[in-house]
Structure formats: structure tokens, C-alpha cells
Amino acid sequence: MSTEEQLYSDIPPTRLRGKEEKFRPAKTNRFWLTIASLFYFNMLQNRFYAFRFKGEEEYYNADKDVPTILFAPHCNWWDGIVMYNITHRIFHKEIRIMVEELNRFPLLRYSGAYSVNKKSPQSAMKALQYSVKVVGDLRNMLCIFPQGIIRPPHYSPMEFQTGLAFIAQNAVKKFGRVNLIPTAVDYTFLRDNRPEVMVKFGKRIELTDANIDRKELTHILEHSLTYACDDLANDISKGKVNDYKILFKQHLKWYRRIEQRLKSIDLPQVADV
């Protein structure tokens, strides 16, 4: 009898494995960024029919001299690839993103990943402090999955760990202001036989008060991402996708083209008997 795979765990991988890992910062260069950009975009194109997005003006209408943090839910393996393409192809920035067990995937450092070890608060603090440092470099865009662990799709209620609030507060102390943009991501089937990536950027939060209570700020951020995700789900459920911009859209497969052609043929009217 086969053993059922445990899809989700409340224990972070580094704590579950109990293996001490050295902190490793991101280590990007032009060559590896070019390779990663082509590779990660091709991965999406090979698996998804289209990538649609909306709300990018939440970033472009803001002061570009203010550091920006994107925060999103984390439900599957594709999330990091999607966030990479958002930062590089929509906002034209280098991504900075935490990855657990980075020692198992060291090449990710060259595309903007840095390690986080959740075995102990002291180990995790190194990643949080590094996050505050890199968010101030305006060539970067910091992307955070504040749930701290992979959750099932559409997991509710949205519950964050306090790491995002810590980063935001300390970024305000260091840089004066920070923009936080909730980023809803969904993977859904519309009319094609392949799924589509749907992204909607929620209302930007400009944080200027570093003394706000950390738990209160965490709840504010939870509510903002919940609202963005609900808003995206509402658009999908009502088929309101025409005003979404398209990062890419595949050509129809041959059998889908035949289907579309057949639908366009007017059949003769059948007389009533």
C-alpha cells in the first residue's frame, strides 16, 4: 500500500531537517541574470497559456526614490518563478527573494535569491537584516512570502509571520519611507486547455511610521493581501479579464484552431416541422 504524500506542513523545512546552514547572500551578475531571465520566462511559456496582470500603476505612480516591497501568498513551486518575471519583465528590477535550503539550489543566488534558516530566531534574523539592507538598493525589488511557509491555494484566513513587518519598520528607520504592494497570484483555467497565470497588484501602502505596533502592521498587511486576492478571485469568477495586460499569450494549438474554425461556420437553419 502506498503512503499518502504530505503536501503541506506547518514546520519550515530548515527546522524540520534540523540542519545548520550558513547564511548566503545574493550574488548576481549580468551574465547569470540574462540566463535566468530567458530560462524562467521560457519555463512559464512552456507550462502556461498566458500571463495576465493588472494594477502595475500602483508602483509606477509612486515615488521611484522610495524602496518597494512586493508581498504575495505562497501556494506552490511556481510562485518564485512568477515573482522573478514580475520584477524583471514588468518592473525592470533585480529580484531579491528569500529561499529556504538554498544550499540545495546554490545557483539561485546568481538570480537574486538569498538564504533564510528558520531553525532558530537568531539564524532567521540574519536574513531579515539582509532584507532591510537590499531593499534600499533601488535597482532591486524585494519579494516576500509573509506566510512563511507554503499553504494550500486560497488558504484562509491569511496569517502572516512578523518578518515582513520587521523589514518594513526597519526600512522606514533607515530610508524614511517604504512602499508595500500586495500581489495576488492565481493559476487558473479560462477557455484554453492550459492554465493561465493571473496577477493583480493591490492598493499600495506607503509606510512612514516606524513606531507602529508590529502586530497591528502585520494585521494591516494581512487584510490588504486578503482583499487583493479576493478582488482577483472575483475578476476570474466573472470573467473580467479583458482589461488585464498580457505578458505573453501562446498561439493556439492546431486542434484548437480547428475548433475555432468550426465554431465560425454558419450551420444551415433547420426548418420547424
Mind listing the pLDDT tens digit for each residue in 199-236?
999 999 999 999 999 999 999 999 999 999 999 999 99
Phi, psi angles (nearest 5°) of residue 129:
-65, -40
Say what the pLDDT of residue 256 is. Answer: 61
Q: How much is the average pLDDT of 53-76?
A: 97
Whether 241 and 54 have beta carbons less than 8 Å apart is answered as no
Residue by residue, DSSP assigns 84-142 as HHIIIIIS--EEEEEEETGGGSGGGGGGTEEEE-TTSHHHHHHHHHHHHHHHTSTTEEE
Residue 121's Cβ-side half-sphere holds a number of Cα atoms within 13 Å equal to: 4
Q: Which amino acid is at 88?
A: H
Say what the pLDDT of residue 44 is. Answer: 96
Residue identified by cell 484562509 is 156
254 vs 237, residue with greater confidence: 237
Residue identified by cell 495576465 is 52
Say what the pLDDT of residue 252 is. Answer: 63
* Percentage of the chain lying above the pLDDT 70 cut: 89
Mind listing the pLDDT tens digit for each residue in 102-115?
888 899 999 999 99
CATH architecture for segment(s) 13-264: 3-Layer(aba) Sandwich (3.40)
255 CB burial (10 A radius; 0-12, 13-18, 19+): exposed
Q: How much is the average pLDDT of 246-253?
A: 85
Residue identified by cell 545557483 is 107
The domain ranges of the chain are 13-264
The Cα 230–Cα 35 span in angstroms is: 35
Whether 70 and 144 have beta carbons less than 8 Å apart is answered as yes
Cα 262 to Cα 57, 212, 255, 257, 266, distances in angstroms: 40, 61, 11, 9, 9
Q: How much is the average pLDDT of 152-171?
A: 95
Q: How much is the average pLDDT of 167-191?
A: 97
Query: Binning pLDDT at 50, 70 and 90, where does residue 1 land?
Result: very low
